Structure 1
Amino acid sequence: MKAHYLGHVVFYVKDLQRSLAFYRDLLGFQEVGRIFNGAAAALTSGRTHHELLLIQVGDAPAPPQGRRRGLYHIGIKVGDSLDELRAAKQELEAAGVVIDGMSDHTVSQSLYLRDPDGNEVEVYVDADEALWKNNPAAVVSPIKPLSL
């Protein structure tokens, strides 16, 4: 077997409408449908049928923060240039989203933030793909600070 690509992520969320305001209305995913009597929504960026499924669970316990086993964060590509990342940063901050960090990973440049349920989300742009195609080890280059 050979994996083709990571197809989708499913999040349990406290409040579906609040999460849709973040992923659909702010980050720009398109809602493609609801299931579970409207308690879950499938979203797509247009790349495939859905990349994200949000399932409302109400006041279920939140996962612990900090180092733990399990999901660390998801990455969402928001463009191809630092200008697009700057624009995304301005839009996020205008919406009241706190940027927890910014990093230059050589192969990509990233902003780190939290969704309404505390899940870490990386919004990023890729650098020129020749960097990692010519040198696949570039993906593990030392992380540098990013200033936008």
Structure 2
Amino acid sequence: MAETHNSADPTKPSERIAVPDRLAHIVLRTGAKRTLMDWYATVLGAHIVFENAFIGFLTYDEEHHRIAVIEEPNLEASAQPTAGLHHVAFTYLNLQDLLQTYSRLKAVGIRPAHAINHGPTTSLYYRDPDGNSVELQIDNFASAAEAAEAAAWFASDAFAINPIGVDFDPEDLLARFQAGVPLSDLTRRAEIGPRGLPVR
């Protein structure tokens, strides 16, 4: 059945700026498609929806695909650092899910390169087999009631002084979570003053 639409002329000027409904997917190119697809399937709990000799698609939810991987022979490894995309991020529903993922990946030898409490998020950064940075995170201000608090954080002096965040030990966070430390304490960012980007 055809989708209905309103009668507004999309070519006419409007005060409303149309914005994307959601971020749909990422596409990676590699010389080792199967290795990369297996890594994302493991890390994200994704499944392959299609694969042939030169491309594969994976998803972890109702979307038809969230990640595509293209095989391009004879690619050279990119020099680090280089201009381009820094990382992609995936949000989990809660800290329990994030820590469960951390533990599951640790058990198969996949460990985060960095763990940072940014203030608005608690984040684990991984490297895929091609060296791309992948962030697994939770929103520290997750509820609708906390949305204003999250927005205010970006305008705070603490964020202006240190917009990157504070490193943490995932094992320590896991132990404190298991000990029943309140969520507000687990996700509260310590203040350490100015800092730069983590070393790649």
Q: Specify which structure has the higher proportion of strand.
A: 1
Q: Percent identity?
A: 27
* Matched residues, number: 144
Q: What amino acid is the match of 2:54?
A: A
Looking at structure 1, the residues matched to 37 and 85 of structure 2 have their Cα atoms a distance apart, in angstroms, of: 20
Looking at structure 2, the residues matched to 15 and 110 of structure 1 have their Cα atoms a distance apart, in angstroms, of: 27
Q: For structure 2, list consecutive stretches of 5 or more residues without a partner in the other structure.
A: 1-17, 174-200
More divergent stretch after superposition (39-48 vs 80-89): 80-89
- In structure 2, the residue matched to 1:62 is 77
1:23 to 40, 55, 70: 40
Higher Rg of the two aligned structures: 2
Looking at structure 1, the residues matched to 114 and 168 of structure 2 have their Cα atoms a distance apart, in angstroms, of: 9
Q: What amino acid is the match of 1:44?
A: T
- In structure 1, the residue matched to 2:178 is none
Looking at structure 1, the residues matched to 88 and 146 of structure 2 have their Cα atoms a distance apart, in angstroms, of: 20
* 2:47 is aligned with 1:33: no
Higher relative contact order (CA 8 A, sep 6+): 1
How much does 1:65 deviate? 1.6
- In structure 1, the residue matched to 2:85 is 71
> Counterpart of 1:87 in 2: which secondary structure?
helix
Q: What amino acid is the match of 1:74?
A: V
How much does 1:146 deviate? 2.6
* 2:104 is aligned with 1:82: no
Tell me, yes or no, if the aligned pair for 1:105 and 1:139 is still in contact at 8 Å. Answer: no
Question: TM-score, normalized by length of structure 2?
Answer: 0.64
- Runs of 4 or more above 4 Å deviation: none
> Counterpart of 1:111 in 2: which secondary structure?
strand
- In structure 1, the residue matched to 2:168 is 146
1:4 to 5, 21, 25: 21
> Counterpart of 1:103 in 2: which secondary structure?
strand
How much does 1:40 deviate? 0.8
Question: TM-score, normalized by length of structure 1?
Answer: 0.83
Across the aligned residues of Structure 1 and Structure 2, the Cα RMSD in angstroms comes to 2.1
Q: Specify which structure has the higher proportion of helix.
A: 2
